[in-house]
Chains A and B, each alone.
Chain A
Amino acid sequence: MTHDVTHHIPEPMLADYAAGRLGHAFSVATAAHVSLCDECRARLAAHEAAGGAVLETLPPEPVSDELMARVMARLDDPAAAPPEPPRPSGIYPGPVMAALGGRPPRWRSMGAGIRQAMLHAGPDGSLRLLYIPPGRAVPDHGHKGRELTLVLQGAFHDETGRFGVGDVEYADESLEHTPVADEGAPCICLAATDAPLRFRGLIPRALQPIFRI
């Protein structure tokens, strides 16, 4: 399905995804956005074209003699086929379904009707789903690193604009914002961060270690 997307993946992040340089959390968000956005699919293909051009012009490095024979011998070995990537389901694109392990999200309440489901937490960043009831605000916060938020259902708005299904908001150290869910359907977002958020209120900060945000 294609959506009326107006906010896209920043160029360096898309290029790093193409080159395999992007950490897991941001890669999931990027692949999920591309699943919903024709423009970024084309931009990604353009970066892969550039990667292919570089590959084509590299001075070849000889491979060992038996490598080709080994590969030719395995061409029809069905056991060696890699598994197919998960299919999209409901509001969740395939890459999000993969991060969910094919199961529905396990929501945990964060208070004020806001819920969260952690999908990944590692040294390269964390990935979670956020559920924000209509009209509700995510507490005022700044960022120590980068944050990429993809809307999967409903919409939110903040100081910088409005974000609907398929849109991504990119934030870094320079942005302090208070995202508020639009009226209507609850807003469900996928959020990748490479450093903990900085909440301005005292209580949310105390909750950070518990909720790993």
Chain B
Amino acid sequence: MSETGEALSEQTRLLIAVRDRRDRQAFAALFAHYAPRLKAMLRRGGMADAQAEEVVQEAMLAVWRKAAQFDPARASASAWIYRIARNRQIDMFRREGRPVPDELAEEPAHDPDAADALALDQETRRLRDALGALPPAQREMVERAYLGELSHGEIAAVTGLPLGTIKSRIRLALTRLRHELKDLRRP
């Protein structure tokens, strides 16, 4: 792998191996990493043990089946799997299923710009560091929002979320992603 490839997070590299080579060993490693975290997320959202495992199972199967759509220049492995899990969870438990935005017309490039993927990966790491650096009470509130324990409206009423650092990180991510999307639109 190239120098930039080595700098990508392990999870992103595993997901690329699943996408490009249908690598079962890489998938098993992703499962070992994410299945217990997805289960923790679903349990925190109020789901019973067996139900949570059922969603984890369906979410990880969707990760395998939809891997061709993964573009590391547009989402980190964790963000992409977070979205896939939410989609499957709602598909399974709401009669109407999850409404999802139309995909962009372009297929993700199979050899995506390594620099873009790397920049997003670093952004994601900085976002995680910023989250870790929050005072415990604030961090708890951010977690509760994204774990689905409380709505953002409920949390804003208490703390004024999104909080300073997180907000600026999201804004940076936004700027980057907006450029990314503009490039994609270019004919």
Could you list which residues of chain A lie within 8 angstroms of chain B, going by C-beta atoms? 2, 11-13, 15-16, 18-21, 24, 27-28, 30-32, 34-35, 38-39, 41-64, 67-68, 70-72, 74-75, 80-82, 85, 87-88, 93-95, 98-99, 120
Contact = CB atoms under 8 A, between A and B. Distances in A.
Contacts of A27: 98-99
A99 B97 CA distance: 10
Given A38-B182, A55-B82, A57-B131, A67 B57 contact: yes
Contacts, number: 208
A12 B148 contact: no
Interface of B: 11, 24, 27-28, 31-32, 34-41, 43-45, 53, 56-57, 60-62, 64-65, 74-83, 86, 88-91, 94, 96-102, 104, 123-124, 127-128, 131-132, 142-143, 145-148, 151-153, 156, 162, 166, 169-171, 173-174, 177-178, 180-182, 185
A2 B78 contact: no
Contacts of B124: 49, 52-53
Given A94-B102, A99-B99, A71 B61 contact: yes
Contact of B102 (A21, A35, A47, A68): A35
A49 B152 contact: no
B78 A56 contact: yes
Nearest to B182: A38
Nearest to A24: B96
B127 A53 contact: yes
Contact of A88 (B102, B131, B151): B102
Nearest to B124: A49
B99 A24 contact: yes
